């Protein structure tokens, strides 16, 4: 037998892992995650999601239902005041009339001072930005706006 040569048994399971390549992969992965998080921002939506049957439960407690239709009309319903207000678009269904929505909500707030919550419902074809914009308008008049019917 040559000097410096150690004979290993065929069934011996002692071996060394070369973890240098694994460490290199993790260094690249960590760098990628750190760089990509600088481009990623999370916006927090201050909204609650109403449970199933949201429109019925809101009307039972005298709440307010704001419904966004695909043709840019807004329906504002309240069981307590027993009225439904239809707000149509000024320019033939191209934009939302949030000024009239604000005025309608202010008038309802005067009639019903106990009004403290609303449920916002939108058709599937209504854009996300329009839902968020209408939620911000509604929050200006009603403290709690819940999303329902999605």
Query: Is residue 12 in a domain?
Result: no
Q: What is the mean pLDDT of residues 137-149?
A: 84
Residue 94: pLDDT band (50, 70, 90) is confident
Q: pLDDT-based confidence at 29, cuts 50/70/90?
A: very high
Residues in contact with 132: Cβ distance below 8 Å, sequence separation at least 6, in sequence order: 45
| pLDDT at res. 4 | 57
Q: Is residue 96 part of a domain?
A: yes
Q: In terms of DSSP bridges, do strands 83-87 and 74-78 run parallel, antiparallel, or are they unpaired?
A: antiparallel
- For 86, the domain range is 48-147
Average pLDDT over residues 98-126: 86
- What is the total count of domains within the chain? 1
The first and second tokens of residue 37, run together, are 């998080």
**Given this model, what pLDDT does residue 30 score?**
93
In the predicted model, what is the mean pLDDT of residues 50-79? Answer: 69
Asked if residue 120 belongs to a domain, the reply is: yes
Burial class (CB in 10 A: 0-12, 13-18, 19+), 138: buried
Tell me, yes or no, whether 17 lies in a domain: no
6 falls within a domain:
no
Q: Is residue 69 part of a domain?
A: yes
Q: What is the CATH number of the domain that holds 56?
A: 3.30.420.270
Examine residue 35 and state whether it is found in any structural domain, yes or no.
no
């Amino acid at each position: 037998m040559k000097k410096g040569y150690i004979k290993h048994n065929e069934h011996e399971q002692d071996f060394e892992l070369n973890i240098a390549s694994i460490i290199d992969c993790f260094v690249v992965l960590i760098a990628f995650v750190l760089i990509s998080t600088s481009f990623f921002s999370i916006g927090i939506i201050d909204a609650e999601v109403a449970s199933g049957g949201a429109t019925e439960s809101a009307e039972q407690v005298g709440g307010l239902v704001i419904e966004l239709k695909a043709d840019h009309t807004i329906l504002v319903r309240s069981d307590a005041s027993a009225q439904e207000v239809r707000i149509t678009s000024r320019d033939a269904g191209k934009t939302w009339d949030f000024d009239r929505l604000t005025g309608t909500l202010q008038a309802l707030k005067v009639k019903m001072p106990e009004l403290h919550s609303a449920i916002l419902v939108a058709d599937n074809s209504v854009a996300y930005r329009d839902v968020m914009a209408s939620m911000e308008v509604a929050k200006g008049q009603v403290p709690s706006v819940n999303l329902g019917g999605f």
